[in-house]
Structure 1
Amino acid sequence: MGRWSRRVADIFLQWLNVPSGRRWLDVGCGTGALTATVLATAEPAEIIGVDGSAAFLAHARARITDGRCDFRVADARALPIPDRYFDVAVSGLTLNFVSESLRAAAELARVVAPGGLVAAYVWDYADGMAMLRHFWDAAVTVDAAAHDLDEGRRFPVCRPEPLARLWSDAGLREVTVKAIEVPTVFAGFDDYWSPFLGGQGPAPGYVMSLPEDGRAALRDALDARLPRGPDGSIALTARAWAVRGDAAR
């Protein structure tokens, strides 16, 4: 998903349009994709990336050496950061994986100075991620148990109304939700299928849990249903929902 998430991060930051010289927090920063984009495009005075995975942060530190940036292991629901310290707090493609998402949203709001900005984005797993929609719809045709693993059903926060409500319930003002869509074009079926063999994430994890014959049946079901261009390419779209709100003054 990384090749698409970087495009979404660019559009997300353009939408936020934060002036230079601000202090940023990136919650659930993972390996630093959004952090790096902030450094490259937003001219922050400082940015701290936090994540629960020390392994992800080690990867982020290895590739991002900008002196304005620091990484820390932390729980999104209990940030070890003083109240009202940052001008901007963001979270990219993370909130749906955090239990007690309202606690996490409230923590984002707590650490931002009055009038500052709190924003996040998540994939639209229910309808907007064509790559995964085709995958889970095909999976159910060969394995009924796949129904309950579908991220579209597991992550109800990944829709505009629940996102807006989450931000409002966290005490944020002037809440706005925006759809961000990017093209996801695959050179052919192997280009589409090979990322599912990596084992990381719900869908790849499901693929690798299947016996060899089950994996082959799923592959064939997907191969039969995906749209093709004249050159064999597979042109799909990916949609994320972004939310922003102002910290109370």
Structure 2
Amino acid sequence: MWAAGEAYEPYVGRWSRLVAARFVRGLDAAPGGSWRDVGCGTGAVTRAVLDAARPAAVVGADPSEGYLAYAREHVRDPRARFVRADAQHLPFADATASAAVSGLVLNFVPDAPRAAAEMVRVVRPGGLVGVYLWDYGEGGMEAIRAFWDAATALDPAARALDEAVRFPLCNRTALGALLAGAGLADVETEEIRVPTPFPDFDDYWTPFLGGQGPAPSYLAALPEDHRAALRERLRDRLPRAADGSIPLHARAWAARGHRPA
């Protein structure tokens, strides 16, 4: 499902970068130190750490060779390197990082508590752990929410694939509880809301044809006539500004805490 950075970027990556920048700034971490970006994908969070946190080094880890290749190509900085790794089995020694972060990943990890525990393991006592995820419910990630509302209206069976149904971790309470359960102290959560405007319908629709993520994967499996019906339903129901653009927003939930000293 997650393999090609070129398809991911117009679908979610361009909006993830906006959230990543605000997320890293909100961590208010001291400059320097060694960071780990768990599930680094195309490198959005790594880039934000490099720009906003002024680290000595960042290591991004992801299981997808396609995403790692994209990150290496687009995040060219001597402080950054990328390795292939599973979030549930990080290839880093205990207590060797000053911070571990993860963006838009833990809901896709089979054992999210194990991944959170791994992030805690690799940071030093007093070190920082921070994560964020999209909110797929009402008022959350509106571009994807609109897709599933339209898909379910035409095909009730689509509800079982809806991220809002599949990923109960993607809310403030569950995300904070995940980090607290991993043993972090002083856990805090926050809402991050960003504009996600589309200049026209094609800019909204075309990224869903890239096959990256649950909604595009569902779309790719539909017969052509069903796909066309879904496209036209969305075209009719998405909000429009006077200039024809589609003014949407996205909400992510972020959580952070410190490994007890």
TM-score if structure 2 supplies the norm length?
0.93
> Within 2, Cα distance between the matches of 1:63 and 1:6?
13
Which residues of 2 match residues 33-112 of structure 1 at below 5 A?
33-112=44-123
> Within 2, Cα distance between the matches of 1:49 and 1:209?
32
- Report the secondary structure of 2:55's partner residue: coil
Unaligned 5+ runs, structure 2: 1-11
Is 1:15 aligned to residue 26 of structure 2? yes
- Report the secondary structure of 1:44's partner residue: coil
- Report the secondary structure of 2:48's partner residue: helix
Structure 1 runs of 4+ with >3 Å offset: none
> Within 1, Cα distance between the matches of 2:75 and 2:249?
29
Is 1:187 aligned to residue 199 of structure 2? yes
Is 1:143 aligned to residue 143 of structure 2? no
TM-score if structure 1 supplies the norm length?
0.97
How far has the Cα of 1:235 moved from its partner?
0.5
Is 1:166 aligned to residue 178 of structure 2? yes
How far has the Cα of 1:172 moved from its partner?
0.3
Is 1:124 aligned to residue 135 of structure 2? yes
C-alpha offsets along residues 181-238 of structure 1, whole Å, 9 cap, x if unaligned? 0011111211111111111111111111111100011011111211111111110110
Identity of aligned residues (%): 55
> Within 2, Cα distance between the matches of 1:224 and 1:55?
35
C-alpha offsets along residues 5-40 of structure 1, whole Å, 9 cap, x if unaligned? 110011001100112112100000012111112112
Counterpart of 2:233 in structure 1 is 221
Unaligned 5+ runs, structure 1: none
Is 1:242 aligned to residue 254 of structure 2? yes
- Report the secondary structure of 1:59's partner residue: helix
How far has the Cα of 1:168 moved from its partner?
0.7
> Within 1, Cα distance between the matches of 2:207 and 2:65?
23
